[in-house]
Structure 1
Amino acid sequence: MLQWLSTSFWNFIANTILRNRIILLLAVTLVTVFMASQWNKMRFTYTEANLLPDEHEINLQYNEFLDKFGEEGNLIVIGFKDSAFFNAKNVKHWQDFIAPIKKDKSVELTLSIEDLKVLEKDTLNQKFKLVPFLNSEKISDAYLAEKQNQFFNELPFYEGVLFNKESGAVRFAIYMDKKIVNTQARKEFIIKYLNQDRIKTFEYATGIDLKISGMPYIRTLNSQNIIDEIGLFVGAALGITSLLFFFFFRSFRATLISMLIVTIGVMWSFGTLGVLNYEITVLTAIIPPLIIVIGIPNCIFLINKYQQEIKKHGNKAKSLQRVISKVGNATLMTNVTTAAGFATFIITDSELLTEFGIVASLNILFLFILCLIIIPIAYSYMPLPKEKHLAHLGKNYIQSFLVWIENSIRHHNVVIYTVAISVLVAGIIGIFQIKISGSIIEDMPKKAGFFQDILFYEEEFDGVMPLEIMIDTKRPKGAMKMATLKRIDELQETIEEIPELSKPVSVVNLVKYAKQSFYNGNPEYYELPTKQEEAFILNYIKNSTQKGSENMLKSYVDSTGQYARVTTFMRDIGTDKMKKIEERLQEKIDILFPEERYTVTMTGKAYVFEKGTHYLVKNLVLSLLFAILLISILMAYLFRSFKMIIISLLPNILPLIITAGLMGYLGIPIKPSTILVFSIAFGISVDDTIHFLAKYRQELKANNWRIKKSVYNTVREVGVSMFYTSVVLFFGFSVFTLSSFGGTVALGSLVAATLLFAMLSNLILLPALLLSLEKTIANEQEFLEPSIDILAEDDAEDHTNNNE
Structure 2
Amino acid sequence: MKKLLGIGFWEFIARVILRNRIAIIIGILVVTGMLITQFEHIRFTQTEANLIPADDKVNVDYDKFLSHFGEEGNLIVIATKDKKLFTPKIYGEWRDLMNTIKSSKEVSLVVSVDNLQKLIKNDSLEKFELKPLVDDRKIQNEQYLKQIQKELYTKLPFYEGLLFNKKTGAIRSAIYLDKKIVNTKARKEYVLNNLIPALNKFKKATGIELHTSGMPYIRTLNAKTIIDEIGLFIGAALLITSLIFFYFFRSFRATMASLIVVIVGVVWSFGIIGALGYEITVLTALVPTLVIVIGIPNCIFFINKYHQEYHKHSNKAKALQRVITKTGTATLMTNITTAVGFATFIATNNVLLREFGVVTTINILAIYLLSLLIIPIFFSYIPSPIPRHLGHLERESLTSFLKWIVSTVKYNRIGVYITAICLLVFGIIGIGKIKVSGSILEDMPKKTVFFDDIRFFEKEFDGVLPLEIMIDTKRKNGAMKLSNLRKMEELEHTITDIPELSKPLSIVNIAKSFNQAYYNGNPDFYTLPSSQEEIFLLPYIKNSLKNDKDNQLKSYITSDGSIARITTFIKDENGERMEAIEAHIRNKVNKLFPEPRYEVIITGKPSVFQKGTKYLLDNLLSSLLFAFFLTGALVAIMFRSFKMVLVSIIPNLLPLLMTAGLMGFLGIPLKPSTLLVFGIAFGMSVDDTLRFLAQYRLELSRNDWKIKKSVFATFDDAGISMFYTSIILFFGFSVFMLSSFGGTVALGGLVALTLFFGMLSNLVLLPSLVLTLNKALANQQELPEPIINILEPTDEDIDELKEQ
User: Corresponding residue for 2:49?
Assistant: 49
CA contact (8 A) 2:457 2:464 kept: yes
Aligned partners of 1:5 and 1:329 also within 8 Å: no
Maintained 8 Å contact 1:7/1:789:
no
Task: Look up the match of 2:747.
Answer: 747
Cα deviation digits, residues 581-626 of structure 1 (max 9, x gap): 1111011111110112110011111110111010000000000000
CA-to-partner distance for each residue in 1:701-731, whole Å, 9 max, x for gaps? Answer: 0111000100010012111111110000000
1:193 shift after superposition: 2.4
- In structure 2, what is the Cα distance between the partners aligned to 1:230 and 1:778? 53
Look up the match of 1:802: none
Q: Distance in 1 between matches of 2:445 and 2:568?
A: 24
Structure 1 residue 781: Cα displacement: 7.2
Which deviates the most, 137-146 or 549-558?
549-558
CA distance in 1, matches of 2:773, 2:481: 78
Contact 1:5-1:788 at 8 Å conserved across structures? no
Task: Say if 1:469 and 1:565, in contact at 8 Å, map to a contact too.
Answer: yes
Q: 1:483 offset after TM fit, Å? A: 1.3
**1:673-717 residue CA offsets vs partner (Å, 9 max, x unmatched):** 001001100000010011000000000001110001000100121
Alignment match, 2:378: 378
Structure 1 partner of 2:262: 262
Displacement of 1:770 in angstroms is 1.5
Change (3 A) 1:775 1:173: same
The offset of 1:791, in angstroms, is 2.6
Structure 1 residue 507, shift from structure 2 partner:
0.5
8 A Cα contact 1:5 1:789, kept in partner: no
Q: How does 1:170-185 map to 2 (within 5 A)?
A: 170-185=171-186
Contact persistence 1:736–1:748 (CA under 8 A): yes
Matches within 5 A, 1:296-315: 296-315=296-315
Counterpart residue number, 1:559? 559
- Cross-structure match for 1:355: 355
1:674 counterpart SS class: helix
Q: What SS class does the counterpart of residue 514 from structure 2 fall into?
A: helix
Q: What's 1:432 paired with? A: 432
Task: Give the residue type in structure 1 aligned to 2:351.
Answer: E
Amino acid at match of 1:756: F
Distance 2:178 2:255 in 1: 52
Q: Residues 476-502 of structure 1, C-alpha deviation per residue, up to 9 Å, x if partnerless?
A: 211111111111111111111111111
Give the structure 2 partner of residue 203 of structure 1: 203
Note the alpha carbon deviations across 1:457-481, whole angstroms, 9 max, x for none: 0000010011100111111211111
CA contact 1:342–1:361 (8 Å) conserved in 2: yes
For 1:525-578, what per-residue CA distance to the aligned partner results, in whole angstroms no more than 9, with x for missing partners? 101001110111122111222232254542001122111110111101345422
Letter in 1 for 2:128: F
Give the corresponding residue for 2:710: 710
- The amino acid of 1:455's aligned partner reads R
Matched position secondary structure for 2:52: coil
How big is the shift at 1:779?
5.2
Which amino acid is the alignment partner of residue 55 of structure 1?
D
CA–CA distance in structure 1, aligned partners of residues 370 and 564 of structure 2: 58
Where does residue 103 of structure 2 map in the other structure?
Answer: 103
- Give a deviation string over 1:261-319, Cα, whole Å, max 9, x none: 00111111101110011010000001100110010000000000000000000111111
Cα offset, 1:41, TM superposition:
0.5
Separation in 1, partners of 2:533, 2:450: 46
2:550 & 2:174 partners in 1: Cα distance? 17
Distance 1:240 1:354, change over 3 A: same
Structure 1 residues 562 and 775, CA gap change in structure 2 (3 angstroms): same
- Cα distance in 2, alignment partners of residues 301 and 552 from structure 1: 65
Deviation at 1:796, TM superposition (A): 4.9
1:49 positional shift: 0.4
d(CA) in 2 for partners of 1:777 and 1:66?
A: 66
What whole-Å deviation, never above 9, does each CA across 1:159-218 have from its counterpart, x for those lacking one? 1100111111111011000001111110111012232x5433322332321000000000
Q: Secondary structure at the residue paired with 1:784? A: coil
- The aligned counterpart of 2:152 is 151
Secondary structure of residue in 1 paired with 2:487: helix
2:27 is aligned to: 27
- Do residues 165 (structure 1) and 193 (structure 2) align? no
Q: Which residue of structure 2 lines up, in the alignment, with residue 416 of structure 1? A: 416
Alignment partner of 2:255: what SS? Answer: helix
Determine what percentage of the aligned residue pairs are the same residue.
Answer: 58
| Structure 2 unmatched runs, 5+ | 800-804
Q: Is the partner of 1:263 in helix, strand or coil?
A: helix
Superposed CA offset, 1:55-112 (max 9, x none): 1110011011111000000000000112210111111111222222111111110001
Q: Which amino acid aligns with 1:146?
A: Q
Which residue does 1:85 correspond to in 2? 85
| Residues 427-452 of structure 1: CA deviation (Å, up to 9, x unaligned) | 01101110001211011111100000
C-alpha distance in structure 1 between counterparts of 2:684 and 2:736, whole Å: 17
Instruction: Tell me if structure 2 keeps the 8 A contact 1:737–1:749.
Output: yes
Match of 1:70 in 2: 70
- 1:237 aligns to 2:237 (yes or no): yes
- Cα distance between partner residues in 2 of 1:91 and 1:779: 93
2:172 maps to amino acid: R
Q: Secondary structure at the match of 2:566?
A: strand
1:371-419 alpha-carbon deviations (Å, 9 max, x no partner): 0000001111111111110011110001000110111011111111110
Structure 2 equivalent of residue 134 of structure 1 = 134
User: Separation in 2 of the partners of 1:662 and 1:575?
Assistant: 22
The CA RMSD over aligned residues, in Å, is: 1.5
Distance 1:115 1:105 in 2: 18
Give CA deviations for 1:148-169 in whole Å, capped at 9, x if unaligned.
0001111000011001111111
Where do 4+ consecutive residues of structure 1 move more than 3 Å?
Answer: 1-5, 550-553, 777-782, 796-799
Give the superposition deviation at 1:792.
3.1
Task: Classify 1:549/1:796 alpha carbon distance in 2 versus 1 (closer, same or farther; 3 Å).
Answer: closer
Contact 1:545–1:552 (CA under 8 A) maintained in structure 2 = no
> Residue 83 of structure 1 aligns to which amino acid in structure 2?
K
Per the alignment, residue 770 of structure 1 pairs with 770
Q: Is the 8 A contact 1:506 1:567 kept in 2?
A: yes
Structure 1's 480 and 22: CA in aligned 2 closer, same or farther, altered over 3 A?
same
The aligned counterpart of 2:802 is none
In 1, distance between residues paired with 2:670 and 2:607? Answer: 17
Contact 2:440–2:575 at 8 Å: present in 1 too?
Answer: no
Q: What do residues 105-143 of structure 1 show as CA deviations (whole Å, max 9, x unaligned)?
A: 111100012211110011121110000111111212111
Conserved? CA contact 1:3–1:9, under 8 Å: no
Paired with 1:389 and 1:122, the residues of 2 have a C-alpha distance of: 92
8 Å contact from structure 1 (residues 681, 751) kept in 2 = yes
Is 1:696 the counterpart of 2:696? The answer is: yes
Residue 188 of structure 2 corresponds to: 187
C-alpha separation between the residues in 1 aligned to 2:618 and 2:748? 22
Q: What is the DSSP-based 3-state SS (H/G/I as helix, E as strand, rest coil) of the residue aligned with 1:747? A: helix
Q: Give me the whole-angstrom Cα distance separating, in 1, the residues matched to 2:266 and 2:607.
A: 36
Shift of 1:3: 8.8
1:654 corresponds to: 654
Which residue does 2:540 correspond to in 1? 540
Counterpart secondary structure, 1:104: coil
C-alpha contact (below 8 Å) 2:479/2:563 kept by paired residues: yes
Correspondences of 1:389-538 after superposition (within 5 Å): 389-538=389-538
Contact 1:329 1:790 in 2 (8 A): yes
TM-score by length of 1: 0.98
* TM-score normalized with structure 2 length: 0.98
Note if 1:15 corresponds to 2:15.
yes
CA contact (8 A) 1:46 1:183 kept: yes
Residues 310-356 of structure 1: CA deviation (Å, up to 9, x unaligned): 00001111111111111000110010000000000001011000000
Instruction: Note the C-alpha offset of 1:29.
Output: 0.4
Tell me whether 1:686 sits opposite 2:686 in the alignment.
yes
For 1:185, the aligned partner's letter is A
Aligned to 1:134, what secondary structure does the other structure show? Answer: coil
Over 3 Å counting, the alpha-carbon distance change for 1:431 and 1:132 in structure 2 is same
**233-242 or 475-484, which moves further after superposition?**
475-484
* Partner deviation per Cα, 1:745-786 (whole Å, 9 max, x = no partner): 000000000000111111101111112234224454772111
Q: What is the alpha-carbon distance in structure 1 between the residues aligned to residue 389 and residue 529 of structure 2?
A: 89
Distance in structure 1 (CA, Å) of the matches to 2:797 and 2:566: 81
